[in-house]
Structure 1
Amino acid sequence: MIVHEIRDWDDAYENGANIPNGSEYPQRWVAPAAAFRDSARAQLGVAYGDGARHRYDLFLPEGTPKGLFVFVHGGYWAALDKSYWSHLAAGAVARGWACAIPSYELCPDVTIAEITAQIGAAIDHAAGEVGGPIVLSGHSAGGHLVTAMMCHDSPLGAQTRDRLAHVVSISGLHDLRPMLKTSRNASLRLDMDSAEAGSPALKRPLEGVRLTAWVGGGERQEFLRQTALIANVWRGLGAPTLEVAEPDRHHFNVIDGLADATSPLMRAALDPVEAP
């Protein structure tokens, strides 16, 4: 019999220190993101609210977009902004989709519940600019935020919900209760009530929306477990789900496939939506 017990919760959710050359991130993304912005057809800094960080960048294909693809960044709800990730729009744009990448306010200035509402507002606004089906993707904390959009209490407006076809959570955090055991909670300010209320794995999924739970095969055990958890629970509630552990990928390079229209990640995200 093997007993599994987590003794160091900070280490269980620490990525940079447990990845070779992990200290190079997020700086490694700055140059490719800037280069893509410089060359892309884009509307930068579109306002979806009154706050300084209530902005998204919208990257456009040639011709009429097939639909709206959204990428929501991570950073444990407390770091980074839309500027680090622009190059990840390349795969969707090459497939003929528009891609929106929003910023949002950060903890501790706001709560995770407030961030969730802001992402809903950003997606609603972008959906008003681009027609067709909607596919959401998000990484780490962003994976939590996009799965929150397909919960029964989604902040999305009714018309946006009706267009939501697929949610791709990449290394997402779907049960927030473990965050209570980490030092990060000094910034997140969760208690048990708010952690439970904000956990997609404890909620019902919207009907008719597909979930793909994607994770790197070389990630921390907690990210593997969180990925398996949401797929398992929501499959049991009737949601069509796909669970993938991509070999030889860690927490920071697992998102690279978003920049490649032919990658396994982009095929999983868009092929079922584009199929006749």
Structure 2
Amino acid sequence: MDATREWLDAQYDARALVDDADAIIADWGARSDALRRDHPPLVISYGDDPRQAVDVYSPPPGGGTAPLVVFVHGGYWQALDKEHFGFLAEPFLTAGAVFASLDYRLVPDVAIADVIADVRAGIAELARRAGDFGVHPTGIGLVGHSAGGHLVAEAMTTDWAAHDLPADTIGPVVGISGLYDLEPIRRSYLNDVLAMSEQDAHDASPVHHTPTGPGPLLLTCGGGEPEEFDRQQRLLVDAWPGVPITTLEQEGGTHFDACTRLAMPGPLRDEAVPLLVRG
């Protein structure tokens, strides 16, 4: 793409474009703290680092095996954590699903390739331990926001046989304000920390990989977000013609409340929750 560094910086500086971004993030934390008091999660470790962990929220026992939905947070691969997003469990618990909020190591302590590997390893650990919390070990639903949208798309390209797991480990996926081509990220201010080479950005971009999971895939972003987020979605639709992909328009909305809407009555929750819970 032909764009200046200044233009890309403005397009991807999500916090600068939302006056109340810090208040929104603080609200995520407060709502998550309240939910954890009522639904203390089971913490699953999938590595030696404290961030290689998953919070697993389960609904009241209802008999049978429940679907599993895994959320992967954003933060441009360098911020936030699983505890901020426990509040998103509520609509999934109400629907009878188990909800897992997955954490991972952050850049610059590790490279983006390591972050991708962490997310794959976390999903694999959940699949292997499915019997511990009564969920299906296959057809796992994934949802990610921002960098998390990138990471769940990368999970769709995983060779699960390399993890001694079946090809259908992953089922439906939802990407919210995701990043699927990292070349413009490499050319923006974000790369001052991410330190990606051109090859790194190519190798970490879902648009350059072949999905192994069948989908379906739902993509959405806030209607008030910069045009780059809509373009990122269109790139993935064009790159993955074999996957059934739906794009959901959200009227208004910013990069941050595009995620919040998953827990609110409205089009995103109405489409995403049944998709992820029933496949």
Q: 2:27 aligned with 1:34, yes or no?
A: no
CA deviations 1:24-55 (Å, max 9, x no partner) are: 24222111010011111521x32111111111
Quote how far apart the aligned CAs of 1:66 are: 2.3
**8 A contact 2:153–2:175 mirrored in 1:** yes
With over 3 angstroms needed to count, the CA separation of the structure-2 counterparts of 1:256 and 1:155, relative to structure 1, is farther
1:244 corresponds to: 248
Alignment of 1:31-110 (within 5 A): 31-43=30-42, 45-63=43-61, 64-110=64-110
The count of residues paired between Structure 1 and Structure 2 equals 269
**8 A contact 1:77–1:141 mirrored in 2:** yes
1:268 corresponds to: 271
1:213 corresponds to: 219
AA in 2 matched with 1:110: V
CA deviations 1:111-137 (Å, max 9, x no partner) are: 111011111111111123333231000
2:262 corresponds to: 258
1:198 corresponds to: 204
Query: Secondary structure of the residue that 1:85 maps to in structure 2?
Result: helix
RMSD: 2.1
With over 3 angstroms needed to count, the CA separation of the structure-2 counterparts of 1:266 and 1:158, relative to structure 1, is farther
Q: 2:237 aligns with which of 212, 216, 231?
A: 231
**8 A contact 1:176–1:198 mirrored in 2:** yes
1:166 corresponds to: 172
Structure 1 stretch displaced more, 6-15 or 216-225: 6-15
Query: Secondary structure of the residue that 2:77 maps to in structure 1?
Result: coil
Query: Secondary structure of the residue that 2:101 maps to in structure 1?
Result: strand
AA in 2 matched with 1:116: I
Quote how far apart the aligned CAs of 1:18 are: 1.2
Quote how far apart the aligned CAs of 1:101 are: 0.6
Matches of 1:207 and 1:29, distance apart in 2: 30
Quote how far apart the aligned CAs of 1:22 are: 2.6
**8 A contact 1:135–1:269 mirrored in 2:** no
Q: 2:183 aligned with 1:177, yes or no?
A: yes
Q: Which runs of 5+ in 2 are unaligned?
A: none
Query: Secondary structure of the residue that 1:56 maps to in structure 2?
Result: strand
With over 3 angstroms needed to count, the CA separation of the structure-2 counterparts of 1:38 and 1:73, relative to structure 1, is same
**8 A contact 2:248–2:268 mirrored in 1:** no
Matches of 2:249 and 2:7, distance apart in 1: 24
Matches of 2:104 and 2:155, distance apart in 1: 15
- Aligned residues with identical type, % of pairs: 33
AA in 1 matched with 2:117: A
Matches of 1:203 and 1:157, distance apart in 2: 18
With over 3 angstroms needed to count, the CA separation of the structure-2 counterparts of 1:147 and 1:243, relative to structure 1, is same
AA in 2 matched with 1:244: L
Quote how far apart the aligned CAs of 1:153 are: 4.9
Matches of 1:211 and 1:58, distance apart in 2: 23
